[in-house]
Structure 1
Amino acid sequence: MNTTAQMPDASAAPGGDGPAKPRRDPAGTGRGTPRRPRSPQWAAWGFLAPVVAYLGLFYAYPLYRNIDLSLRDYTVRSFVQGGAPFTGLGNYRTVFRDPTFAPALEHTVVFTAVSLLFQYAAGLALAVFFSQHFRLSTTLRALFLVPWLLPLIVSASTWSWMLNSDSGIVNSTLGWAGIGPVNWLTSPSWSLASVIIANIWIGIPFNLVLLHSGLQAIPATLYEAAALDGANAWQRFWKVTFPLLRPVSAVTLLLGLVYTLKVFDIIWIMTKGGPSDSSTTFATWSYRLGFGTLLPQFGPGAAVGNILVVIALAFGLVYIRAQRKQMSS
């Protein structure tokens, strides 16, 4: 009888499931269990830390300071040394009662709405045009990006020269056509239209880029199927292109709204909000209250800026709500 066959194997597991794995002690501590790896959450927080620091330093803290400015009566001395008295909503009441509030609100709405409408329409038309992939389409599309790539001070200065009443190329062209000169920048009837035209020209390339990228994501088979069903070019655009482009269009309009609400450089360089506040918007009014006079009003200026933030935030929440509703349906 072989006694060795009846002896239990020392390497077998207690449950009889096979040989037990040898215990390692990589650290040399004498313990039988290996050290558990660290939680991956630390690595995630390590990657998030720079983003959180950036948002806190350049977004959260300036927003907090702007809210604090709007709730206190700051002067130049208290702005430097501190100690500004708390006034609550007093600065907001001052802004709402100011005679400039109603015209500035109207100009902001008109400037934003008209700019968005024409920028989106022109950008969509150009995106559809360049989606045909004809010869030199890439070169021409790159040239259309020039207004977007130029510094705003250069674009605004160029439009100021073009719309000059005496020596501008626009009035010279109108003179050749037998039309009298127009005071684009110095007339209350034309100043707002002038800055709107310049802003539309600057914003078209942005809409072109986003909408063109959205068009590239639409499968060509859908157009082929629509053509086989007898749909003409307009029907293919209205029934295929436009519905499938709605998500990209929503993002384009939302970003355009935020950018247009805070447009300051173009208006300030071309008209400074004048003449007689005829082209004043909330952005230029806020700057003029805070920095454009010898006796700055930091509190009311910050209050106007916060009104712009609330308007942009409201439209952003509407967009998020619409997106959630679309995803759930």
Structure 2
Amino acid sequence: MNRDRHVDGRWTAWLFLAPVTIYLLAFYAYPLYRNIELSLREYTVRSFVQGGAPFAGLDNYQKILSDPTFGPALAHTVVFTVASLAFQFGIGMALAVFFHQHFPLSRTLRALFLVPWLLPLIVSASTWSWMLNSDAGVVNAALGTVGVGPVNWLTSPDWALASVIIANVWIGIPFNLVVLYSGLQSIPVALYEAAALDGATGWQRFWRVTFPLLRPVSAITLLLGLIYTLKVFDIIWIMTRGGPTDSSTTFATWSYRLGFGSLLPSFGPGAAVGNLLIVMALTAGLVYIRLQRRQWA
């Protein structure tokens, strides 16, 4: 009797696990396998549809590593990711601490800061493209009022990467604000009161109380931001298409351009670049897990 109940319980558990297992296999495991398989074969449009692509081994990886675009794309990916994370997290933290003061209209203003997060990315990127237009953009118009000449934000190799970083920072600030503000809500007010009685200034309370207690929340915020930023494509593609002269090309835009950006797509090299992004995100996740284990050890 007990054995029958045990067997029934196991089958019930598997039935509950079946939907999520099917979901993970269909939308994570199979696409990952397919991408790896693409990167190890020499696919053409015909073989992509009909099959029969010859095995190429690591030739596609060798192609992208020896491609002149690899070095600049890697550098742009690192700069884009690090700069976006730094400004998104820094501004998001400052706003979270600011709104934690609970002043009048704080809820209304906090809700308004969520607008960039709620807008479709194509709308946000198109808006920034218009604002940063060299001839009719409002940013250059504002700079002109203080005597600064027009800047070719999207058409100059010196400014294209900075322009897409600015747009991505604006889009990512609300996420950091919401998560960090939620973390601040869990910090007991008594700790701030005790620090104030000890004579701690506002800056000291932040560094000695707020920041240490927010480390777990900060870590997951940075990890999620890193994974999201590594794969940012639409913002860059809509604003600059990775140009001019590859000055804002990242691994995400390069992978798309190789796979779908020409009449003779290079599916294998495009998949190989995409796999490099996966490895970078996976490395960040493993570092996070290791740091968490050290913290709880």
State TM-score, norm by structure 2.
0.98
The match for 2:159 is 190
- Deviation track 1:237-293 (CA, whole Å, cap 9, x = no partner) reads 000000000000000000000000000000000000000000000000000000011
The match for 2:272 is 303
Answer yes or no: is 1:97 the counterpart of 2:80.
Answer: no
CA distance change for structure 1 residues 190 and 41 in 2, over 3 Å: closer, same or farther? Answer: same
Q: Distance in 2 between matches of 1:68 and 1:34?
A: 47
Counterparts of 1:156-305 in structure 2, within 5 Å, are 156-305=125-274
Give ranges in structure 2 of 5+ residues lacking alignment.
none
One-letter amino acid of the structure 2 residue matched with residue 155 of structure 1: S
Alignment RMSD: 1.1
Q: Distance in 2 between matches of 1:65 and 1:107?
A: 27
One-letter amino acid of the structure 1 residue matched with residue 250 of structure 2: T
The match for 1:123 is 92
Counterparts of 1:81-96 in structure 2, within 5 Å, are 81-96=50-65
SS in structure 2 opposite 1:179? coil
The sequence identity of aligned pairs, in percent, is 77
One-letter amino acid of the structure 2 residue matched with residue 168 of structure 1: G
Answer yes or no: is 1:40 the counterpart of 2:6.
Answer: no
One-letter amino acid of the structure 2 residue matched with residue 200 of structure 1: V
Give ranges in structure 1 of 5+ residues lacking alignment.
1-32
Answer yes or no: is 1:68 the counterpart of 2:66.
Answer: no
- Deviation track 1:89-140 (CA, whole Å, cap 9, x = no partner) reads 0000000000000000000000000000000000000000111111111111
SS in structure 2 opposite 1:40? helix
State TM-score, norm by structure 1.
0.89
One-letter amino acid of the structure 2 residue matched with residue 253 of structure 1: L
One-letter amino acid of the structure 2 residue matched with residue 93 of structure 1: Q
- Which structure is richer in relative contact order (CA contacts within 8 A, separation 6 or more)? 2
C-alpha deviation, 1:197, in angstroms: 0.2
> How many residue pairs were aligned?
296
Q: Distance in 1 between matches of 2:108 and 2:16?
A: 39
C-alpha deviation, 1:82, in angstroms: 0.1
Answer yes or no: is 1:323 the counterpart of 2:276.
Answer: no
| Greater radius of gyration (CA) | 1
C-alpha deviation, 1:46, in angstroms: 1.3
Q: Distance in 1 between matches of 2:47 and 2:165?
A: 38
Q: Distance in 2 between matches of 1:176 and 1:233?
A: 37
Q: Distance in 2 between matches of 1:259 and 1:60?
A: 19
1:134 to 79, 98, 103: 103
One-letter amino acid of the structure 1 residue matched with residue 9 of structure 2: P
One-letter amino acid of the structure 2 residue matched with residue 324 of structure 1: R
One-letter amino acid of the structure 2 residue matched with residue 239 of structure 1: R
One-letter amino acid of the structure 1 residue matched with residue 207 of structure 2: W
Q: Distance in 2 between matches of 1:314 and 1:147?
A: 29
Detail structure 1 runs of 4+ shifted over 3 Å in the superposition: 33-36
Answer yes or no: is 1:56 the counterpart of 2:56.
Answer: no
